[in-house]
Amino acid sequence: MSSSPEPDTKVLWLARLEYRLHAWRERRARRRGHQPTVAAFPGYGGEDWVRVLGRVLIVPPVRTRRSGKEIGVRGWRSFAAVPVGFAQVSVTVDGITHEVVSDRGGVIDTVLPAKLAPGWQTLTMTVEGSDPIETRVFIVASDTRFGVVCDVDDTVMVTALPRPLVAAWNSFVVNEHARQPVPGMAVLLEGLVRDNPGAPVVYLSTGAWNIAPTLERFLGRHLFPLGAMLLTDWGPTHDRWFRSGRAHKHENLRRLAHEFPQVKWLLIGDDGQHDDDLYTSFTVDFPEHVTAVAIRRLSPAEAVLAGGRTAVDDHSAATVPWVTGDDGAALRDRLGEVGVLPPS
């Protein structure tokens, strides 16, 4: 019987170095009088549990204009925030307070017992006596049969993420007001929610948790329906130089299938990364959990920026409908043709 491979000691060293750097930045920020707070993100749950998502951070002060209005937030400010690892956080759900601990990167991702009515419900989080931060969780009713899982980069937001220089520009420099939505995607998603009352929407992305506040504001500004956000934490782990975005998506898709065995998901992505392969694997393993797959085709210019177009397999013999289109309007038409949406 073979033993499991030993972790890469160099990667272990890098992970320790990252934590020490964060700890040094935290001490420095506290000496300046800055205190941690919780950045709370939309989560989801069932009728007797909730998945709570957030991150403990010391955030740089936001500049304001003379009028008192905040100056547009550029991406680098989110990455300049100092994560507070292993912080004790009080989470209050339905009048009951639970104590949880953030991970090494300050991320809170925990499941708590709670009996809440279906739909959007509110909970609060606080750390070190800070003001309570409200967030919402979407409770999926036990009789819900339809849900949406949607990629973000180049599916709802034009980012050309795979190309490193473009990714850095979009993540660290570009003002959130300059980010562009994919045409028709907000209308498509809003229509899906309207036609399927009680359906959960989950935005599943390989983006870092640092961009969550910007992403949430972007989605609201462009009238995308509110949904849970499942992002990841960049940086080294005990056995990898960087966390695998593909593994993150793979694990969360399967987690959703196990958490909501009654739900069949509409999976929405694009052909610029690995969505086709990921969704193919998921439909093979969990065909009973998929209503259809919708893949947005990147334009030639977007495909070049994204480092090339991923070949989309032939799905003509698939057990679930697969559709492709250039934008949200085209995808809506194709989904209407296969019976997932009412015909246009």
109: domain CATH number is 2.60.40
Distance CA 294, CA 309 (A): 16
Is 343 inside a domain boundary?
Answer: no
**Which of 38-42, 48-52, 117-121, 339-343 has the weakest average pLDDT?**
339-343
In three-state secondary structure terms, 338 is coil
Q: Which amino acid is at 86?
A: F
Task: Evaluate if residue 160 carries a pLDDT over 60.
Answer: no
Do 81 and 203 belong to one domain?
A: no
Is 3 inside a domain boundary?
Answer: no
Is 233 inside a domain boundary?
Answer: yes
Do 19 and 123 belong to one domain?
A: yes
Is 154 inside a domain boundary?
Answer: yes
Choose one of 103, 123, 139: the last residue of a domain: 139
Comparison of pLDDT for 240 and 92, the residue scoring more: 92
Domain membership of residue 155 as a residue range: 146-337
Q: Residue 51: CB partners within 8 Å, gap ≥ 6? A: 43, 44, 45, 109, 110, 111, 137, 228
Per-residue confidence (pLDDT) for residue 282, from 0 to 100? 96
Do 135 and 173 belong to one domain?
A: no
Helix crossing, 185-195 with 328-337: angle to 10°?
Answer: 40
Do 186 and 68 belong to one domain?
A: no
In three-state secondary structure terms, 20 is helix
pLDDT in tens, 253-310: 999 999 999 999 999 999 876 889 999 999 999 999 999 999 999 877 676 655 555 5
* pTM score: 0.84
Is 72 inside a domain boundary?
Answer: yes
Question: Based on the structure, what is the number of domains in the chain?
Answer: 2
Sheet of 264-270, strand order: 228-232, 201-208, 146-150, 264-270, 290-296, 322-325
Is 99 inside a domain boundary?
Answer: yes
DSSP state of 170: I
Looking up residue 186, the CATH number of its domain turns out to be: 3.40.50.1000
Choose one of 104, 139, 174: the last residue of a domain: 139
Distance CA 309, CA 318 (A): 22
* Residue 316, CA distances (Å) to 14, 54, 269, 298, 323 in order: 46, 41, 18, 21, 10
Residue reference for tokens 């070049």: 304
Q: Residue 309: CB partners within 8 Å, gap ≥ 6? A: 271, 272, 297, 298, 303
Contact present, 321 and 295 (Cβ < 8 Å): no
Do 170 and 314 belong to one domain?
A: yes
